[in-house]
A and B are shown apart, each in its own frame.
Chain A
Amino acid sequence: MNEIIQTFLLGPIKAMADYPPAVVETVIAGLGNGFLYALVAIGFVIIFKSSGVFNYAQGAMVFFAALNFAGLIDIGVPWYLAGLLSLLLMLVFAAAVERVVLRPLVGQEALTLFMATIGIGFFLEGMAEAVWGGNPRLLKIGLPEGSVFLIDYAWAQDLGLDVIIQQSDIIAIGTGIVMVLGLYLFFQFSRIGRALRAVADDHTASMSIGIPLDRMWVVVWALSGGTAFVAAVVWGSKIQIEPTMIGLALKALPVLILGGLTSIPGAVIGGCIIGVSEQLFEVYWGQPLLGGATTEWFAFMLGVVFLLFRPQGLFGERIIERV
């Protein structure tokens, strides 16, 4: 028993205490990943909040946008034009989804709508690869890469604070923060944003005061399409664009469980928690003790445990019924 505590609890903690800069590096790398998840999760929250649809296709949307962007650059379109085109494509796509898929399904059960979004996800994945091919691509639009010293002074390095971080992590974190602020301002102060909040609160009431519900849903899907595009740019500059991305984007689900399904800041904080904890677990427990690759499931397990204690998430509304 003592031995188990020694290896599984004290050992990793001692390893952390022995060399704190490594912990800082792990945490920042985790934050970078966490913000990637959060960027997917935000698109998800936007849709869920105002229409109650659990959008499985959000990951596929990010993949689709990224592959379009990279593919257009590959065939010689300048990157700003390619970006603009992909963004436009996402907006058109979002409107089409609302029109073709969701409108005929109004009033169906949540499960049916969820299935429909799985269908959308499959369709998107197939279409993206049918058009651009299934090979992994890189998205290079001149975002800074490589690593920098966090504290670039001789005295800091003498003290053992020579923390190296990836610039792409900083970009992910920065984009995430800007995006949350932007969405906050949009929802709080713009006319459409307020209408959307009204729709989120009560469909019937908002319809009766003259908010056009179907147009709002187009806006919502377009917003999440735009979010997917931003996420695609950040993801694409950090990792290779390939179909496994969609599986990776599934981590947005436990992120949402932690943050609450209806809260955009919650998505970011949930992303931070998941990203950091899975990275720490992988480095200090997974690789030395469990054979590695624990990031595949750690987030989901954390989500399950969290679900049992606080099902509405950290910032969500209490909408879960219990039996």
Chain B
Amino acid sequence: MIYRETGVFKTSYAQDQAILRVPLDQYGLIFWIVLAFVIIPMTASDYALSDLATPFLIMSLAALGLNVLTGYCGQMSLGTGAFMATGGFMTYKLITAFPPPAFLTQFSILGFAPLDIHFPVMLVLAGLITAATGLLFGLPSLKIKGLYLAITTLAAQFFLIWLFIKVPWFTNYSPAGIAPAPPQTIFGIEVTGAASPVINRYLFVLTITVLAALMVKNVTRCRHGRSWMAIRDMDIAAEIIGISPTFAKLSAFAFSSFLIGVAGALWAFVKINSVQTDAYTILVSFQVLFMVIIGGLGTVLGSFLGAAFVITVPILLNIGLTALNPGLQALGFGGFEVAMIKHIEFMIFGALIIYFLIVEPHGFARLWQIAKQKMRTWPFPY
């Protein structure tokens, strides 16, 4: 009875088609948005914003992208890291090749330049280039499916990373293969670069991620999203009822790569302030995949929950194991070294994945659904 759907009457089509039809859900969303946009920036420390919240949001964006492909359309992918790299390197190339025209930045009112939207435009363009790349590597999905796609996407992972290392054009011929990401502004406000305030970077990433989440939520409600899910559930039946598998699969690949590309660009520009292939190894691909699995395949909420889990667990482990050190040393043991913590992290991660797959194959998002059901029938269990 805490969470109630009865007594909610819809009197117009607009109400019936709303994303959240239960008032409680709407209040919940407003609460989260206020929390993320107002309370967290006001209260959180710089460390929490830059090392917890920002990577969490960027990885959520990547997880959203992969969720579109794997969760909604049922296509396996291990090439997320490579597509993130494509986004990062392409944004860098676009920004260095086409610097913002002067009139965009010079026209300003009280430090606010309403025309300065060069960076978001470049992000979108880089996203589109990544979408095209994803489309290219998604082409084999028309003939093969399931786990075979793992190999195709692995090919993307290894080939693209090799390309970015071997072709110096991508880093503007910088000798070490690492290009510093030039600081960017929006509306005259610095949003990336080491010198910009952490809070600006956080809010910028937050805005993009929220927009992307809304977009994914809406796309998956419409015709295209439904055709993806039909392909995922039973491709042959979907084709019989008139869904084109070609279009559905390729559009899923393109849309997913677009989001992943933007996430990759944000990672390079906002998080690490440089563009380099080290940030996009196959380990990143697996991380994003875990986020999607642990969070819940085919849910927007799951992408966020999974990202939160994968980002925070290593940090908590690190803190926890380091905290044990004085005690262990007092007992005469050596204590944990940094490398050891890394190995233990790998073990715990592997074990957790297996545990989650066994106990709750539908991920965290399913736990939330169960909780809602419990609240619906509270205080009676049935």
Chain A interface residues (CB < 8 Å from chain B):
54, 100-101, 104-105, 108, 110-112, 114-116, 118-127, 129-130, 133-134, 247, 250, 253-254, 257, 290-294, 296-297, 300-301, 303-304, 307-308, 311, 320-323
Contacts and interface: CB of A to CB of B under 8 A. Distances in A.
Given A307-B143, A320-B148, 18 more contacts: A104-B358, A110-B147, A111-B76, A116-B358, A118-B289, A119-B350, A119-B357, A122-B349, A126-B346, A126-B347, A130-B347, A253-B150, A291-B166, A294-B162, A300-B151, A307-B151, A320-B145, A321-B236
27 contacts: A111-B146, A112-B357, A112-B361, A114-B76, A115-B357, A118-B289, A118-B353, A119-B349, A122-B286, A122-B346, A122-B347, A122-B349, A123-B346, A123-B349, A126-B343, A126-B345, A129-B339, A129-B346, A133-B339, A290-B166, A291-B167, A293-B162, A296-B158, A311-B143, A320-B145, A321-B236, A323-B235
A119 B347 CA distance: 9
A257 B148 contact: yes
B151 A253 contact: yes
A130 B354 contact: no
Contacts of B352: 119
B208 interface: no
B357 A253 contact: no
B243 to A, nearest CB: 10
Contacts of B140: 304, 307-308
Main SS class of interface, B: helix
Interface in B279-336: 282, 286, 289, 293
Contacts of A293: 162, 165-166
Interface in B147-200: 147-148, 150-152, 154-155, 158-159, 161-162, 165-167
Contacts of B349: 119, 122-123, 126
Contacts of A119: 349-354, 357
A233 B165 CA distance: 33
B85 to A, nearest CB: 14
A129 B352 CA distance: 18
A261 to B, nearest CB: 9
Contacts of A307: 140, 143-144, 148, 151-152
A111 to B, nearest CB: 7
Contacts of A104: 358
Contact of B340 (A54, A130, A308): A130
B245 interface: yes
B72 to A, nearest CB: 14
Contacts of B40: none
B36 interface: no
B155 A323 contact: no
Contacts of B166: 290-293
B145 A321 contact: yes
Contacts of B343: 126-127, 129-130, 134
B147 to A, nearest CB: 5
Contact of B350 (A126, A134, A303): A126
B212 interface: no
A105 B346 CA distance: 22
Contacts, number: 138
Nearest to B281: A247
A300 B354 CA distance: 27
Nearest to B297: A111
Given A110-B147, A118-B286, A300-B155, A123 B351 contact: yes
Nearest to A256: B151
Nearest to B249: A323
Contacts of A294: 162
Contact of B347 (A123, A290, A321): A123
A122 B361 CA distance: 18
B375 interface: no
A307 B155 CA distance: 12
B334 to A, nearest CB: 13
A54 B152 CA distance: 15
Interface string B251-287: 0000000000000000000000000000000100010
A120 B144 contact: no
B5 interface: no
Nearest to A291: B166
B151 A303 contact: yes
* 3 closest Cβ pairs, A-B complex: A126-B346, A123-B350, A122-B350
B239 interface: yes
Contacts of B155: 297, 300-301, 303-304
A95 B158 CA distance: 33
A33 B97 CA distance: 43
A55 to B, nearest CB: 11
A7 B151 CA distance: 30
A63 to B, nearest CB: 12
A257 B148 CA distance: 8
A116 B357 CA distance: 7
Contacts of A291: 166-167
Contacts of B347: 122-123, 126-127, 130
Contact of B159 (A126, A301, A311): A301
A120 B358 contact: no
B113 interface: no
A104 B76 CA distance: 23
A52 to B, nearest CB: 10
Nearest to A113: B357
A188 to B, nearest CB: 28
